Amino acid sequence: MAIVTCEGENVDPDNATLFTALEVAGLDAQLVVWDDKNVDWDSFDVNVIRSTWNYSPRRAEFLRWAQSVPRLVNPYPVLEYSSDKHYLLDLEGLGVRVIPGQFFDVGTTPTFPPGDFVVKPAVGAGSWDAARYRPGEVATAREHVAALHEHGRDVLVQPYVSSVDEMGERAVIFIDGTFSHAMTKRAMLNVKEVDRNFLFRMEQMSVATVEPEVAAIAKHILETKGFSDLLYARIDFVSTPQGWAVMELELVEPSLFLTFVPDAATRLASAIRGRLSL
């Protein structure tokens, strides 16, 4: 099988834990770069997306690739839906509480909410190309939007949720349609992007006990959208005065934090093995 990644050295800290679990499960896996033109994807019994983290500025190319790959998990329709944060409008229409925001697609002029706010690309991975701004930094924020637009990338502007500074985000992870574990992700946007390195990101993570409200909302979203049987899924939440709200769906290439919960790697390996018998 192929564990699909992007170009780079030691891209995903979960790889060692996952490959150990796959070996114990008797599975033969190799790390394969998604945009390597020399790969024969038909030669693999299953192609599992894990860390294709450089796809966001190249979404159209990535989706063309995904549509051409056989036996891909998660499958193409899920990737198409969840790779663009415009899905937040769909979730809101279903009655799901989301962080309020406004999209400014290429060619439109942005406006910004009062107080601290966040500018991020509508298609993005993690906190890359995202930044927090104060009320006096509107000019810099406009430059940020203009730079994203120049590269053909739509933009989402949201108020900054201050609870992230104290509580962090809550990441809820499902494996093979079943709740696996939850993580606390501390604030990422309080340092410059250049300082959001591997060590910083790992230090911001810790295992959490999931709140019943959060687990219920996450399960409702997956069931409502027909995503209950995905190999993996992650939904990120933040606490607001109105209750927990969805920050992002992570159904393409989410970190699953397997190094923090090694049993989750065992469950993921078992789920992958189950895909081979379908």
pTM: 0.91
Q: What is the pLDDT of residue 129?
A: 87
Full pLDDT tens readout for the chain, 278 residues: 999 999 998 899 999 999 999 999 999 999 999 999 999 999 999 999 999 999 999 999 999 999 999 999 999 999 999 999 999 999 999 999 999 999 999 999 999 999 999 999 999 876 788 999 999 999 999 999 999 999 999 999 999 999 988 888 999 999 999 999 999 987 655 545 444 344 435 556 899 999 999 999 999 999 999 999 999 999 999 999 999 999 999 999 999 999 999 999 999 999 999 988 64
DSSP-H helix ranges across the chain: 15-24, 59-68, 76-82, 87-93, 138-150, 163-167, 198-203, 212-224, 262-276
Count of domains for the chain: 3
- Residue 264 belongs to a domain: no
Question: Is residue 17 located within the same domain as residue 154?
Answer: no
Residue 14 φ/ψ, nearest 5 degrees? -75, -15
Q: What is the pLDDT of residue 161?
A: 93
Distance CA 54, CA 128 (A): 10
Question: Is residue 49 located within the same domain as residue 175?
Answer: no
Place of tokens 């989410």: 254
Place of tokens 């927090």: 132
Residue 89 φ/ψ, nearest 5 degrees? -65, -40
Which of 112, 130, 159 terminates a domain? The answer is 159
Question: Is residue 34 located within the same domain as residue 143?
Answer: no
Q: What is the pLDDT of residue 188?
A: 55
Structural domain of 121: 102-159
Closest CA relative to residue 57, chosen from 102, 121, 126, 143 = 121
Contact between residue 103 and residue 86 where contact means Cβ atoms under 8 Å apart: yes
- Residue 262 belongs to a domain: no
CATH number at residue 17: 3.40.50
- What is the three-class DSSP state of 130? coil
CATH number at residue 181: 3.30.470.20
Q: What is the pLDDT of residue 197?
A: 44
